[in-house]
Structures are given as C-alpha cells and as structure tokens.
C-alpha cells in the first residue's frame, strides 16, 4: 500500500527526546505506548502545533515539513484533523456552528448542507441547536468527529478521544469510527494505551516507548504465529511461557516450563514451544466447589498483587509459587468479583486456552518452526 503519510520527527524537549518515523496508507494506525512515551507529542508535531527542528513530513505528496529546505507549513495549512482528548468543542457555538466552523470556507450555503450532512452521519441532526454543555459525553465525541471530518482533512489524528467513556459507549464509537474510515478512506492515526483499542480498530500498530519507536507491525500479520507473541510481549499483555511440549506413554501431551507443567489438549507433535494464555481466558475457581476434571491439572493459587481497571475490564496480577499470572475479568462479568491486593485467589488455565507456537532449535538460534499450531477451545 502506498504511504500517504511519511513522517520522520526528531525533537528534544529538555531531557526528553522524541525520535519517530511513521508510514501510513489508507489505514487506521494506532500509536501504542505507556503514558509519557511521547504519543501525544508525536501528534502535535505532525499537526504543526509544535515546531520540530529536524525531520520531514510528507502527506499525500505534499511536503509539510523540511527544515533543511526551509519548509514548515503552519497547522491551518496542513489539512490534518486532530481530535483532542478533551475534544475542544467551542462552548460558545451550537453543535451546528461547531461543525460549520470546520467547513465554512467552502462557501456559506454549501457549508451548511455539508455540516448538516455530517451531523446526520453521526446521528445528531436533531441536536444541531444544542450547545456542547447540553450534550452527553458520547454526543460530544460525535460532534468533534463530525467537525474534524467536515473539514475534509487528508488525515485524521485522535488523541485518546474515547478514554473518558465506559465500555459499551467506547465500543459504539469505535465501530462508528471504523465505519467513517471505510466511507471516507481518510488515514487515521489513533493514540491509545488500551490493548482493546488495537484489536478492535487498528490495521497497523506503532509501538512507542520513551520517545522512540520500538516497532511497528500490521495487525493482519499478527493473527497467527510468533508475531502475535511478539505483539503481546511488546504490550506487556498476556501470559507467555517458554518450555517444551512432551507426550507421556499414553500420548497425552503436557507443557513443561521452568517452574511447572500444564496439561494440554489435542496437540500434534512435541518439542520446544511458547505457550500463550490470554488473560481473559483464565478462569477463577471457587475453592468450595469441585473442580472440573479438565481444569484440575492446571489449577493454581496465589496472592493478588495488583488490580488495574483498564477500559472495560479488570486486570489482576497474581503471584504464585510458579510465577506471575495476568488474569482479566470483564467489567460486565456476572457475578462481578471484587479483588483486593493481598487476597488469596484460585484459578485455572483451561487446556483449550493455551496457544502453542512450536520453535525449532538450530545451533542456538531460535527460528519459527514449520508447524505452527494454534489450539482453540
């Protein structure tokens, strides 16, 4: 795919240095990294809200920044929409006026119909006379989206625009954004620190840490194989174990790693492998109830170390004698159990939830084996 955005930015601010290069086609790219890693600053540099001393930015064939050639287009000529975390809707303008502000230059009469069309697209046509303070959170997000798109930007950037919204609303807006992207074909660069957003929205992920790009990858390349493990590793998400798959005399497979073993289900083959367990596939057990036979071999207990609310789910870190485990519980799970740090919990890894990636040993250099097997429940 031809890159519409080709950007390379180097900038120092005090102790912090930003050094990223991005290429993006007609896709949705996600900038993923911990807070303070320079994601928002990257967007500001791209939009021209922050002066960059060295680098180069090209969008749809237009050079927006090239300090050596003395080119630095001001933000209003870059045609790059930016949706701020706080949305920055103009409080003194109605919904319609806000959207009009983005497209008025096309001539008054036409602009009004364009603005109304965009409001209809985000299903807000009936609220055009309301002020932003009279709208709900989700409605405000949609106004901001309509305003940015009505300006017909050549690229749209979003700085964690849905972070203030809860689960179902977030999902709706993500769907809406995806739909708008499919309709308009505008490349989108989206900043997030939530894993969920990547899986649901992105075509391409850029990993950024401490101002540096640590990797980028296409989501389609990640649906299987080693790449997926790399993705989870980079995101610090999931339970990754390195060990061996062995078959006993009866041919029953199990996975052995440094501090224990897990029973497996229907595995063709054996050998060195990586086992990956999605945190949301781990099951909590009630010690008063009998354990399902399948789970009994893979039961653990340990102390809760940390509980994080991330998006619509709780992420719980549990320390056991056999390593640390990440477990995720959806906020909408029923019954919702509230975990506290220090609490003793029991959980099990369903054999069907263990994804295996076989590795081949060649002179100490580990390569992806010929047989990549994913076990699905």
Of 2, 14, 69, 105, which one interacts with another protein (CB under 8 A)? 105
Judged by CB under 8 A, the stretch of 77-85, 178-186, 258-266, 337-345 that binds another protein is 77-85
Q: Are strands 260-263 and 155-159 parallel, antiparallel or unpaired?
A: unpaired
> Shortest CA distance to 171 belongs to which of 311, 56, 275?
311
- The interface region with another protein, picked from 6-14, 78-86, 291-299, 369-377 by CB under 8 A, is 78-86
Task: Supply the minimum distance, in Å, between the C-beta of residue 152 and another protein.
Answer: 9
Q: Is 241 exposed, middle or buried (0-12, 13-18, 19+ CB in 10 A)?
A: buried
Told to check if 47 binds another protein by CB under 8 A, we report yes
Element (H, E) at 245: strand 239-247
Binder of another protein out of 80, 316, 345, 356 (CB under 8 A): 80
Q: Closest approach of Cβ 143 to another protein, in Å?
A: 12
Of the residues 14, 61, 70, 92, which one makes contact with another protein according to CB under 8 A: 92
Report d(CA 355, CA 275) in Å as an integer: 6
Q: Which two tokens stand for residue 282?
A: 């781990």
Contact status: 88 vs another protein (CB under 8 A): yes
Is the Cβ of residue 73 or residue 125 nearer to another protein in the bound state?
73
Which position among 4, 24, 82, 124 is part of the footprint of another protein (CB under 8 A)? Answer: 82
| Alpha helix stretches (DSSP H) within the chain | 39-47, 95-103, 108-121, 137-150, 167-184, 195-201, 226-235, 293-296
Residue in 33, 38, 81, 243 binding another protein, rule: CB under 8 A: 81
Among 84, 237, 257, 339, binds another protein (CB under 8 A): 84
Q: What are phi and psi of 79, to 5 degrees?
A: 55, 40
CA distance 145 to 140: 9
**φ, ψ of residue 149 in degrees (nearest 5):** -80, -30
How far from 143 is each of 44, 72, 83, 116, 140, CA to CA, in Å? 21, 30, 11, 11, 5
Taking the complex as a whole, how short is the minimal distance between the CB of residue 296 and another protein, in angstroms?
A: 55
Q: Contacts with another protein in 141-180 (CB under 8 A)?
A: 147-148, 151, 153
Residue number with CB closer to another protein (102 or 238): 102
- Establish if 7 lies at the interface with another protein (CB under 8 A): no
C-alpha–C-alpha distance, residues 99 and 117, integer Å? 10
* Residue of the chain from 6, 72, 75, 375 that contacts another protein (CB under 8 A): 75
Q: How many residues bind another protein (CB under 8 A)?
A: 26
One of 61, 91, 109, 321 touching another protein (CB under 8 A): 91
Please report, as residue ranges, which positions from 347 to 366 form the binding site for another protein (by CB under 8 A): none
The count of other CB atoms within 10 Å of the CB of residue 367 is: 11
Q: In this complex, which beta carbon is closest to another protein, that of residue 102 or of residue 243?
A: 102
Can residue 61 be called a binding residue for another protein (CB under 8 A)? no
Give the number of other Cβ atoms within 10 Å of residue 163's Cβ. 15
Neighbours of 140 (CB within 10 A): 21
Helix axes 137-150, 95-103, angle to 10 degrees: 20
**Can you read off the two tokens belonging to residue 139?**
């409605």
Contacts of 269 by beta carbon, 8 Å cutoff, 6+ apart: 245, 358, 371, 373
Regarding 14 and contact with another protein (CB under 8 A), the answer is no
Candidates 34, 51, 53, 86: give the one binding another protein (CB under 8 A). Answer: 86
SS3 call for 219: helix
Comparison of 144 and 316: residue with beta carbon closer to another protein: 144
Nearest to another protein of 79, 322 (CB atom): 79
At its nearest, how many Å lie between another protein and the CB of residue 131?
A: 9
Q: CB 91 → another protein: shortest distance, Å?
A: 7
Binding span for another protein by CB under 8 A among 88-96, 190-198, 270-278, 310-318: 88-96
Contact 264, 254 (CB under 8 A): yes
Quick check: 70 binds another protein (CB under 8 A)?
no
- Residues making contact with another protein (CB under 8 A): 47-49, 74-82, 84, 86, 88, 90-92, 101-102, 105, 133, 147-148, 151, 153
């Amino acid at each position: 795919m031809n890159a519409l955005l080709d950007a390379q930015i180097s900038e120092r601010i005090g102790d912090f240095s930003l050094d990223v290069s991005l290429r993006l086609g007609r896709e949705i790219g996600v900038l993923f990294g911990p807070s303070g890693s320079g994601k928002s600053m990257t967007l500001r540099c791209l939009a021209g809200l922050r002066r960059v001393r060295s680098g180069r930015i090209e969008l749809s064939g237009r050079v927006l920044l090239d300090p050596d050639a003395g080119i630095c287009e001001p933000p209003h000529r870059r045609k790059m929409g930016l949706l701020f975390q706080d949305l920055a809707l103009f409080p003194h303008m109605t919904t319609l006026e806000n959207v009009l502000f983005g497209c008025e230059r096309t001539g008054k009469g036409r602009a009004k119909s364009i603005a109304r069309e965009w409001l209809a697209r985000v299903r807000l046509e009936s609220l055009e006379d309301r002020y932003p303070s009279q709208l709900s959170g989700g409605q405000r997000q949609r106004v901001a989206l309509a305003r940015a798109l009505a300006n017909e930007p050549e690229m749209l950037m979003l700085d964690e625009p849905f972070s203030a919204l809860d689960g179902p609303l977030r999902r709706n807006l993500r769907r809406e954004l995806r739909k708008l992207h499919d309709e308009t074909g505008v490349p989108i660069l989206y900043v997030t620190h939530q894993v969920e957003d990547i899986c649901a929205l992105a075509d391409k992920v850029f990993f950024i840490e401490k101002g540096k790009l640590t990797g980028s990858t296409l989501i389609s390349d990640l649906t299987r194989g080693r790449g997926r493990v790399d993705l989870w590793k980079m995101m610090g998400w999931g339970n990754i174990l390195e060990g061996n798959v062995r078959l006993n005399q009866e041919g029953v497979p199990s996975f052995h790693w440094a501090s224990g073993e897990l029973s497996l289900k229907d595995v063709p083959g054996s050998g060195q492998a990586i086992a990956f367990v999605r945190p949301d596939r781990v099951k909590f057990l009630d010690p008063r109830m009998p354990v399902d036979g399948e789970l009994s071999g893979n039961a653990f207990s340990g102390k809760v170390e940390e509980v994080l609310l991330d998006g619509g789910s709780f992420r719980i870190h549990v320390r056991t004698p056999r390593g640390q485990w990440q477990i995720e519980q959806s906020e909408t799970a029923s019954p919702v159990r509230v975990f506290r740090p220090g609490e003793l919990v029991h959980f099990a890894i369903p054999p069907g939830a263990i994804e295996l990636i076989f590795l081949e040993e060649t002179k100490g250099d580990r390569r992806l084996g010929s047989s990549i097997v994913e076990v699905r429940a």
